[in-house]
Chains A and B, each alone.
Chain A
Amino acid sequence: MSQNEMTFIQGVVVEEEVQLTFTELCRACNAEIDHVMTWVVEGVLTPIGESPQNWLFSGDSLRRARLAQRLSLDLEINPPGVALALDLLDEIAALRSRLRVPAST
């Protein structure tokens, strides 16, 4: 069963134009509320706002949260491990860009 439809769509750039609420972020990366909560505690994500109901996550949080979600599901890494892996991946990315080598090599 397949169906074709043609639509013309304009999107918004999440990293530049969007702030995500707690619920939106959980849904966007298909993560459980408890997991996202733990990542905030571990410092993987840093929302603004005092309580979870008021939390707002920057657009870049989407990338980080999805990465955290994939690492914890695929490699069964616990939240402190995810936090460490993300820090190290960020550092590798920064070093790579200092070397000015394309990320694909």
Chain B
Amino acid sequence: MKFKDYYEMLGLPRTATQDEIKQSYRKLARKYHPDVSKAPDAEDRFKELGEAYAVLKDPEKRAAYDQMGSEWKTGQDFQPPPDWGAGFEFNGSDAGMGTGSDHSDFFEALFGRHSRSRQQPHMQGQDHHAKVMIDLADAYRGTKRSISLRIPAYDDQGHITTQERKLEVSIPKGIRAGQHLRLSGQGGPGFGTGSAGDLFLEIAFNPDPQFRVDGRDVFMDLPLTPWEAALGTSITVMTPEGPVQLTIPPGSIAGRKLRLKGRGIPGAPHGDLYVVMTIALPPADSDQARDAYQAMAKAFDFNPREPRKG
């Protein structure tokens, strides 16, 4: 297990006051909140921050953490000292950090002794949430996913442990990023005669260099040569559904969209696929190429900085 320097994570010296800790956490939490930030590592950063804050805001935990001394560095191999936590009493109140008790091994080893939450004799199980990444093409066809869930559970002594649970889920055609699938009865177990909770799967698309999605509509860029755009042509384009033969009309200009009706994400109604034309200029990197550009310069009476005539 690796040591985590919670002060470093919050950008603070070990002498920071409780107010400074709160201030720094708030500021960084706003910056890295996964719902607000678009930084790719926002989610991990935010979890780290939450963990650091859960320890440092609590005077008992902070004192115990500080007792290990300031020699430790982030990433160093670490085992809790044998007398760890002697004389301190932690309660499980840090579990309310919103995004769940998904703490690091380091945190669990030091502070993971949650007290068992009070359970009512008959209670419906909790609803659980998980995120599933799929490709855009999966939304066109539907797909099946094997999902591993780590579910916190209490063992006989009331300690929190994680159980792994595997589910095979079929993801329907037409699903979009941001939508949720509800799997009834697949959440937390109920207590007594209470029924099990539901499992909600939030769908997200894997980043795609080629396609952009807006609702059910899908957009893609199609680079053309100047002569293809000017003279028109027929080309094969790879859409999320596979290759499509596309007619480029003569006189096409950059930025013009070709709409392929009903070839967006399926649904009621189907989305459309928009092919956005861009024009790529060949480099003038040989005598032949330069001659060709010279010939064009002679052939055209064309000044793009002047309004077009007639």
**A→B interface (CB under 8 Å):** 1-16, 18, 27-28, 30, 59, 62-63, 66-67, 69-71, 73-76, 85, 89, 97, 100-105
B2 within 8 A of A: no
Closest 5 CB pairs of A and B: A11-B181, A73-B98, A14-B180, A74-B98, A11-B183
Q: Which of A3, A14, A71 contacts B181 (CB 8 A)?
A: A14
Q: Which residues in B have their C-beta under 8 angstroms from that of A30?
A: 126-127
Contact A12 B181 (CB under 8 A): yes
B262 within 8 A of A: no
Q: Which residues in B have their C-beta under 8 angstroms from that of A63?
A: 178, 180
Extra inter-chain contacts (14) besides given A14-B200, A27-B197, CB under 8 Å? A4-B164, A6-B166, A9-B168, A9-B170, A11-B181, A14-B181, A14-B182, A62-B180, A67-B35, A73-B98, A74-B98, A75-B30, A100-B219, A102-B207
Q: Which residues in A have their C-beta under 8 angstroms from that of B176?
A: 15
A44 to chain B minimum Cβ distance, whole angstroms, is 14
List 15 A–B pairs whose Cβ atoms lie within 8 Å, in order of A's numbering: A1-B155, A2-B163, A3-B164, A7-B186, A9-B183, A13-B181, A14-B179, A59-B180, A62-B180, A66-B129, A75-B26, A75-B33, A100-B219, A103-B38, A103-B177
Give Cα A104–Cα B206 distance, bound, in whole angstroms.
10
Known: A13-B179, A104-B40. A74 touches B29 (CB 8 A): yes
Q: Which residues in B have their C-beta under 8 angstroms from that of A18?
A: 182
Q: Which residues in A have their C-beta under 8 angstroms from that of B168?
A: 6-9
Contact B38 A27 (CB under 8 A): no
Contact B169 A76 (CB under 8 A): no
Contact with A along B156-184 (1 / 0, CB 8 A): 00000111111111111011111111110
Contact B164 A15 (CB under 8 A): no
Give Cα A105–Cα B207 distance, bound, in whole angstroms.
10
Q: What total of A-B pairs shows CB separation below 8 Å?
A: 114
Give Cα A104–Cα B40 distance, bound, in whole angstroms.
7
**B→A interface (CB under 8 Å):** 26, 29-30, 33, 35-36, 38, 40, 46, 50, 96-99, 124, 126-127, 129, 153, 155, 161-172, 174-183, 186, 197-198, 200-201, 207-208, 212, 214-215, 219
Known: A9-B186, A75-B33, A89-B35. A102 touches B212 (CB 8 A): yes
Give Cα A103–Cα B39 distance, bound, in whole angstroms.
10
Q: Which residues in B have their C-beta under 8 angstroms from that of A104?
A: 38, 40, 207
- Which residue of chain A lies nearest to B124 when distances are taken between CB atoms in the complex? A27
B175 to chain A minimum Cβ distance, whole angstroms, is 6
Give Cα A101–Cα B209 distance, bound, in whole angstroms.
11
Q: Which residues in A have their C-beta under 8 angstroms from that of B26?
A: 75-76
Q: Which residues in B have their C-beta under 8 angstroms from that of A3?
A: 163-165
Q: Which residues in A have their C-beta under 8 angstroms from that of B30?
A: 75
Q: Which of B98, B179, B201, B208 contacts A102 (CB 8 A)?
A: B208
Contact B201 A2 (CB under 8 A): no
Give Cα A73–Cα B169 distance, bound, in whole angstroms.
30
Contact A70 B98 (CB under 8 A): yes
Contact B182 A12 (CB under 8 A): yes
Known: A1-B163, A27-B197. A101 touches B35 (CB 8 A): no
Q: Which residues in B have their C-beta under 8 angstroms from that of A62?
A: 180, 200
